[in-house]
Amino acid sequence: MLLRLGKLLNARVLVTGGGGLVGSRLAALLQRVGAAVTVLDRMDAYPEPAHELFGAARSGARLVVGDVCDRDTVAELVRGADFVVHAAAYADVAACTRRPDIAFRANVCGTQVLLEQIAAHPVRRLVLVSSAAVYGDGLPGVEGPQRFREDQCLFPLSVYANSKLWAEHQTRLMLGASSRTEYAVVRYFSVYGDPQIPKPGSHSWMVPWLTLQARLGRPMRLNGGGVQVRDLVHVDDVAEATALALVEEQMAEQTVNVGTGTPTSVREVADLVAAHFPGARRVTTPRPEGDPLGGYACVERSWELLRWRARTGVREGIGRYVSWLLATPRAVPRWLAEEDA
Ligand SMILES: NC(=O)c1ccc[n+]([C@@H]2O[C@H](COP(=O)([O-])OP(=O)(O)OC[C@H]3O[C@@H](n4cnc5c(N)ncnc54)[C@H](O)[C@@H]3O)[C@@H](O)[C@H]2O)c1
């Protein structure tokens, strides 16, 4: 994999949202293969110290604290880039439902500003980060967890999912055949792995949620009984897939799932976490609005086009996350520790 990323040696890569969980891991990987990375991020998605734990500032990347809606900043950064990864987003389903105005500004207007600047100042390729949320609950009338294929009908169930689907369409429409910039779309499934920390008021990211609840001696809350299914893909694997989407020739104008191809229920995740915390309890809580029943990735296309497969199994990934959390007491968010159990 590192050999293939050698094509990025000395390339200038702009990573929007590069101060977040995935973006910071990606920026560090790109720096390691010899790219010159610039990160554009508001750096305010989390209460402290999450952005600092993600370590974008330590990766060697140039950090520009700013907003993807700021046309002048984006214009200047795009002019200085050979490649762009657009990962900046108001990246939480519940937050987007509560504040559709912020979701619209960050995910729709921010994407539009970036696309306009890329159209005016072409780069070699834009990788747009999308989400498996665009599949919603999958095809109507099908029982049980579904395997989501990139070319199936899409039924976004949340403001967040709709904003991601809009970004996909707009990218295709603005950077289609007549553009000098290639594009590729990556649809992440449920990303997890250290140093992921939940956001206040969020119900996404079950690995950190359940692990933190167990770590704090609180019952693990299984929304809707934990029957929902997710495809848990480790952040290291996600960073690799995204970097490959920048360089694999066959990815031009293509969309691929970034998942493992294996379904895991929330209850199974709770069981894997509980194995590290003897006596951990579970309670059933209501299923939040917009929380999809879920599904898992069809991985044929990502293998064919990216020649990539996720390498980290969920048992190993959760074990690594638990070890990191136990070794990093400052990672327990103060707002969560101070909350009533
Ligand atoms: N984590 C997942 O499970 C998952 C799944 C599917 C898709 N995604 C997508 O992956 C990308 C990265 O998500 P993440 O999990 O790292 O979330 P994250 O919140 O850790 O990272 C997103 C980053 O974008 C930045 N940002 C938000 N609005 C911005 C703006 N207007 N201008 C500049 N920066 C802004 C935030 O400060 C944050 O650092 C997002 O596009 C997200 O929608 C994530």
Ligand 1 neighbourhood includes 45 CB (under 6 angstroms) = yes
pLDDT at 306 over 90: yes
User: Separation of 89 CA from ligand 1 center, angstroms?
Assistant: 4
Report the predicted TM-score, pTM, of the whole model to 2 decimal places. 0.96
Ligand 1 centroid – CA 142 distance (Å): 31
pLDDT of residue 341: 61
Give the mean model confidence (pLDDT) for residues 56-83.
95
Q: Which of 14, 15, 16, 22 to mutate to test the pocket of ligand 1 (most atoms within 8 A of CB)?
A: 22
Output the pLDDT for position 143: 78
CATH of segment(s) 192-230+261-297+312-332: 3.90.25.10
Q: Does ligand 1 have an atom closer than 6 angstroms to the CB of 42?
A: yes
Instruction: Verify whether ligand 1 is closer than 6 Å to residue 89 (CB atom).
Output: yes
| CB 195 near ligand 1, within 6 Å | no
Convert 274-332 into a string of H (helix), E (strand) and C (coil). Answer: HCCCCCCCEEEECCCCCCCCEEEECCHHHHHHHCCCCCCCHHHHHHHHHHHHHHCHHHC
pLDDT of amino acid 50: 82
Q: Which of 67, 73, 163, 191, when mutated, tests ligand 1's pocket best, judged by the most ligand atoms within 8 Å of its CB? A: 191
**What SS3 class is residue 194?**
coil
Which tokens is 29 given?
């990987």
Please tell me the distance between residue 141's alpha carbon and the centre of ligand 1 in angstroms: 32
pLDDT above 70: residue 61? yes
pLDDT of residue 340: 65
Mutate to test the pocket of ligand 1, among 14, 15, 16, 21 (most ligand atoms within 8 A of CB): 21
45 CA distance to ligand 1 middle (Å): 8
Q: Cβ(78) to ligand 1 under 6 A? A: no
**Whole-number CA gyration radius for the chain:** 19
- Answer with the residue of higher pLDDT: 334 or 271: 271
By the 10 Å C-beta count (0-12 exposed, 13-18 middle, 19+ buried), 195 is classed as buried
Encode pLDDT of 211-251 as tens digits: 999 999 999 999 888 988 999 999 999 999 999 999 999 99
Please provide the CATH number assigned to the domain covering 4-189+234-258.
3.40.50.720
**Nearest CA to 287 among 203, 197, 191?**
203
In whole angstroms, give the CA distance from residue 125 to residue 105.
24
Cα–Cα dist 206/231, whole Å: 11
Q: What pLDDT shows up at residue 72?
A: 98
What pLDDT, on a 0 to 100 scale, did the predictor assign at position 293? 80
Determine the average pLDDT of the residues in 313-324: 97
Ligand 1: which atom is nearest the Cα of residue 70?
32
Q: What is the mean pLDDT of residues 71-96?
A: 97
Q: How confident is the model at residue 19 (pLDDT cuts 50, 70, 90)?
A: very high
Percent of the chain with pLDDT over 70: 99
Tokens representing 146 are 């579904």
3-class SS shares of the chain: helix, strand, coil, % to 5: 45, 20, 40
**Does the Cβ of 87 fall within 6 Å of ligand 1?**
yes
What angle separates helix 159-174 from helix 110-120, to the nearest 10 degrees? 10
Ligand 1 centroid to Cα of residue 68, in Å, is 12
Ligand 1 atom closest to the Cα of residue 43 is 37
15 Cβ contact list (under 8 Å, min separation 6)? 23, 26, 27, 30, 37, 38, 39, 40, 61, 84, 85, 87
| pLDDT of the residue at 298 | 98
Mean of the per-residue pLDDT values of the chain:
94
Average pLDDT over residues 54-60: 86
Q: Is 336 a residue whose pLDDT tops 70?
A: yes
- Helix, coil or strand: residue 85: strand
> Could you tell me if 124 and 81 are in contact, meaning their C-beta atoms sit under 8 angstroms apart?
no
- The pLDDT score that the predictor gives to residue 112 is 98
Atom 11 of ligand 1, residue of closest alpha carbon: 87
CB hemisphere CA count around 29 (13 angstroms): 25
The domain ranges of the chain are 4-189+234-258, 192-230+261-297+312-332
Cα-to-centroid distance, 280 and ligand 1 (Å): 31
Ligand 1 lined by 27 (C-beta under 6 Å): no
CA–CA distance, 29 with 128 (Å, rounded to integer): 18
Cross-strand partners of 254: 184
**What is the mean predicted confidence (pLDDT) over 96-100?**
96
| Model confidence band, residue 1 (pLDDT cutoffs 50, 70, 90) | confident
**156, pLDDT greater than 70:** yes
How confident is the model over 181-218, as pLDDT tens digits? 999 999 999 999 999 999 888 888 899 999 999 999 99
pLDDT at residue number 69: 98
Q: Are 45 and 91 in contact (CB under 8 A)?
A: yes
Q: How far is the CA of 339 from the centre of ligand 1 (A)?
A: 25
